[in-house]
Amino acid sequence: MTNQQIISKVLDKNQKNGLLTGNCKDILAEIPDESIDCVITSPPYWQMRKYRTNGNDADSMIGEEKTPEEYVKRLAGIFLQIKRVLKSDGSVWLNLGDKYHNKNLMGMPWRVALALQNNGWILRNDVIWHQMKGTQSAKDRLRDVHEHIFHFVKSKKYYYDTDAIRIKPKKLPKINGKKIISATGVSGKKYRRQILESKELNEQERAAAIKTLDQTLEKIKVGELVDFRMTIRGAQRTYHSDNLEVSGRAKELKTKGFYIMTSTAKGHLPSDIWNIVPEDEWRKDVHYAVFPTELLELPIKATSRIGSVILDPFMGTGSTLIAANQLNRQGLGIELSEEYVEIARNRLNPAQLTW
């Protein structure tokens, strides 16, 4: 079956997965414009390992360039192709590790990220993947236990399902007699006293603050909110900064005299630090950098819909496709190593596979 046929079967939803063997830059050229919903990938890191080429030209191997500049340039070129095939509301999640060269930390992930920004990509998040374990032979620096995962988009308006990834609150508000208490025990009594006694607020601001406080407490009572914090001019300081040029909260405090920050009953969004142990099971084979499926769950849920096509242009042994299938998405993988493609084929459901 040709690459075009494999691609068409997956894009047309006639096949759950497609495996494409060869140089990703060449194969990406065969994928139609704006046909991919989401890309999740981890290219070979610069000069970290020698991958088996299975007879392919060694010069086509990403990661074996002589200089960091050449590595960054080649990756940035591939991501221009990825940008072409990605839908306008699509996302890219890029995992990269760093490299020491002559005892000097090279900053490779950020070199690549900045090059992609220069090519028009919009960087939405730098996620720190805390791997929670690791070994190190060097005795004159700290252990390495993290990698970067960058979230890129090509348009300011992109698909993002916050409800799919919210962390549900562990504590719910309660009513103690006639007093409404938030999940962390905030009743609003102190805020009400500070508003009424404030010499910083005028009568109009004071009335608006009391009204907003009462509305917030009512939302907690009916279960829309679980917690809140109120900042009142002269009583509390603004979070982050008092500078009106850089802080929207500071502007709000100056113009209104107060603001309220709330936590909804739907839950809060995860942070940009993920504590996930690397995959061990598939390290028994020849592939040394296997994505844990837990790492892939949030990107897939947040930035793709059910039935979306998830592309991994550096597929390795197929973890991205496996995670996509588990979450009812289609998978399309590109891999230069025939050996890795065979492992991916064995890991995937044969009935859902075309290659």
pLDDT band at 128 (very low <50, low <70, confident <90, very high): very high
pLDDT tens column, 235-286: 876 655 555 554 577 888 889 999 999 988 888 889 999 999 886 554 444 4
Q: What is the DSSP string of 299-344?
A: HHHHH--TTPEEEETT-TTSHHHHHHHHTT-EEEEEES-HHHHHHH
3-state secondary structure of 31: coil
Report the relative pairing of strands 122-130 and 146-153 from DSSP bridges: antiparallel
pLDDT score of 145 more than 80 = yes
Is pLDDT larger for residue 219 or for residue 57?
219
Give the range among 200-204, 293-297, 310-314 with minimum mean pLDDT. Answer: 293-297
Is pLDDT larger for residue 216 or for residue 48?
216
User: What average pLDDT does range 191-216 have in this prediction?
Assistant: 96
pTM, to two decimals: 0.82
